[in-house]
Amino acid sequence: MKRVILILTLFLMILNPVLAANSVKKELTVQSVDGFSIKATFEYPKVKGKKEFSTVVLLHSLGYSSEWWETLPNELIESGYAVLQIDLRGHGKSVYNSKLERMSWKSMTNTAYAKYPEDVAKVIEYVKSENSKKVFFKDWAIVGADIGGSTAILSADLISYKPKTIVILSPVVNTRGLYVPVKLANLTNIDIFCILGTDDFESKEAAEYLKKFAQAAFVTYTSESKSMGMIMLKNDVSLAKIITGWLKEYL
């Protein structure tokens, strides 16, 4: 019996090397243009001989951090993707400015929030340049929740090597001074997938408005969850697979 189990285990490992392999995980600290310490986690499957990975960047909700993504990061890694989780300034571990003073999102001005797109672009460029022996940003995508979704669009506008698609949980038109429509109109050939909570009428209205500016497909999906932002992942466990399934069409 033990021999049969061993043979079956080896067969499954051969059949799906990504799931069988360990992952490589790195904790990153990247200094923003104004010296703010941006913290991030970068993880990808450890598969022998594989040098190219499609990457998914995760940008969390306002008031939360990368720790709230539930099962989505593991779902993506098990599907063979590299995952870059960034704590936006004032959130999670990204709370120290150039003077090592602690700064919370609650006390930040719109001037500080305006730096989000540059922060994200800086982290992505850091990962790209520090991993020159492997390719991570040839094919990539962004998943963002509320303010993270706004930052995703504004960051994509800054970066020359555009993401293949952007997924937004609970979109907003203008939050903390991050105004989305104009920059969304600049993103040609980038399909947008918006996920809305059942009772999130503000996000539904925002999605209908933003769709007018989209230059490619703009698809909406209503979750059974009555919550909003990344909390939907906690209340609707099917979302991680739905998001991963969408990304598989592009990466």
- Residue 205: pLDDT band (50, 70, 90) is very high
- Residue 230: pLDDT band (50, 70, 90) is very high
Q: pLDDT tens for residues 9-21? A: 333 333 444 444 4
Residue 216: DSSP 8-state = S
Lowest model confidence (mean pLDDT) among 29-38, 128-137, 185-194? 128-137
- Whether the pLDDT of residue 160 is over 50: the answer is yes
**Cα–Cα distances in angstroms (integers) from residue 211 to residues 75, 120, 232, in the given order:** 28, 24, 22
**Token pair listed for 228:** 């909003």
- Residue 48: pLDDT band (50, 70, 90) is confident
Residue that the structure tokens 């919550």 belong to = 227
Domain 22-248, CATH class in plain words: alpha beta
Q: pLDDT tens for residues 56-65? A: 999 999 999 9
Q: pLDDT tens for residues 96-134? A: 999 999 999 999 999 999 999 999 999 999 999 998 789
**Token pair listed for 201:** 């009428």
- Whether the pLDDT of residue 36 is over 50: the answer is yes
Residue 188: DSSP 8-state = T
At residue 7, the pLDDT reads: 35
pTM for the model? 0.90
How far apart, in whole angstroms, are the C-alpha atoms of residue 113 and residue 59? Answer: 14
| Domain ranges, ordered by start, for the chain | 22-248
How far apart, in whole angstroms, are the C-alpha atoms of residue 44 and residue 22? Answer: 9
